[in-house]
């Protein structure tokens, strides 16, 4: 099976997930976890098969602006699948499944300059931690968006539609901060490993990447400090979550956008 066919089948599965969730919402039914998992597992298998041939070349990993998001959403969906066994994380597939389709489609439609990265123990650990941190904080952002919608609808006294199918507000908020805490810890370790153990080409302009990474870390740290000591929640938590995510995405994708597509 070719890479293109595998990724096309993955797109079909993700579209099926999105269509199934929308259909269940219209019928005022909560999508059953076992049905969503039965669609998500083949999507991950097809997606993973397509990625395997795109990224790995001998002892090197090939990176480009349009390939990395595809890898990231694959990892995000894996985390959602695993965590759904204990937590109500499958709700975010409403937002993540179309995001997955877009990410895969971009890898099929657009090219970009390939950057090869030699794999060693330190680099591999840094990449893995970074991807896990990005994935968990992306899921937290999707959770924050659902929480914002739920909060707005409840304040407007509109409790029909999708709001009835979501877990209680307290459960949604508790899950958001669990994701933020784990993502923040992984981001912290990722920044430390990148600083001390990963060798960087001195010709690469990384000042803005470092700036936005630290800015993201400070935003998340402020939010978690405020949550623990001042009980921050609701719109404050949502705004900080979105701000941290924007800074985090600018740290990585902003630098790749400038280097690969603009310069």
* Domain boundaries, given as residue ranges, for the chain: 1-119, 120-263
How far is residue 223's CA from residue 80's CA, in Å, rounded to a whole number?
Answer: 23
Q: Tell me the residue ranges of DSSP E strands in the chain.
A: 56-57, 60-63, 115-118
pLDDT of residue 155: 85
Count of helix runs (H) and strand runs (E) in the chain: 9, 3
pLDDT of residue 83: 92
User: For residue 15, what are the contacts with CB-CB under 8 A and spacing of at least 6?
Assistant: 97, 101
pLDDT in tens, the chain (263 residues): 678 899 999 999 999 999 999 998 888 787 788 999 999 999 999 999 988 876 655 555 556 667 788 889 999 999 999 999 998 899 999 999 999 999 999 888 875 555 555 566 777 788 888 889 999 999 999 999 999 999 888 888 777 677 777 888 889 999 999 999 999 999 999 988 877 766 655 545 566 778 888 999 999 999 999 999 999 988 999 999 999 999 998 887 766 555 555 54
Output the six-digit token pair for 183: 């993502």
């Amino acid at each position: 099976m070719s890479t293109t066919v595998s990724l096309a089948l993955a797109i079909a599965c993700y579209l099926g997930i999105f269509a199934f969730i929308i259909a269940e919402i219209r019928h005022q039914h909560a999508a059953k976890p076992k049905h969503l998992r039965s669609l998500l597992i083949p999507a991950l298998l097809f997606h993973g098969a397509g990625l395997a041939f795109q990224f790995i070349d001998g002892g090197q990993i090939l990176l480009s602006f349009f390939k990395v998001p595809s890898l990231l959403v694959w990892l995000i969906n894996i985390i959602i699948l695993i965590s759904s066994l204990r937590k109500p994380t499958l709700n975010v597939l409403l937002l993540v499944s179309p995001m997955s389709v877009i990410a895969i489609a971009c890898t099929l439609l657009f090219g970009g300059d390939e950057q090869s990265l030699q794999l060693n123990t330190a680099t591999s650990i840094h990449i893995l931690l970074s991807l896990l941190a990005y994935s968990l904080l992306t899921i937290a952002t999707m959770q924050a968006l659902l929480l914002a919608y739920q909060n707005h609808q409840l304040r407007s006294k509109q409790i029909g539609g999708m709001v009835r199918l979501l877990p209680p507000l307290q459960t949604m908020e508790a899950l958001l901060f669990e994701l933020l805490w784990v993502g923040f810890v992984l981001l912290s370790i990722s920044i430390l490993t990148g600083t001390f153990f990963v060798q960087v080409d001195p010709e690469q302009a990384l000042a803005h990447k470092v700036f936005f990474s630290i800015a993201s870390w400070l935003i998340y740290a402020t939010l978690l400090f405020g949550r623990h000591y001042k009980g921050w929640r609701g719109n404050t938590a949502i705004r900080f979550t979105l701000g941290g995510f924007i800074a985090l995405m600018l740290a990585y994708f902003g630098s790749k956008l400038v280097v690969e597509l603009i310069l």
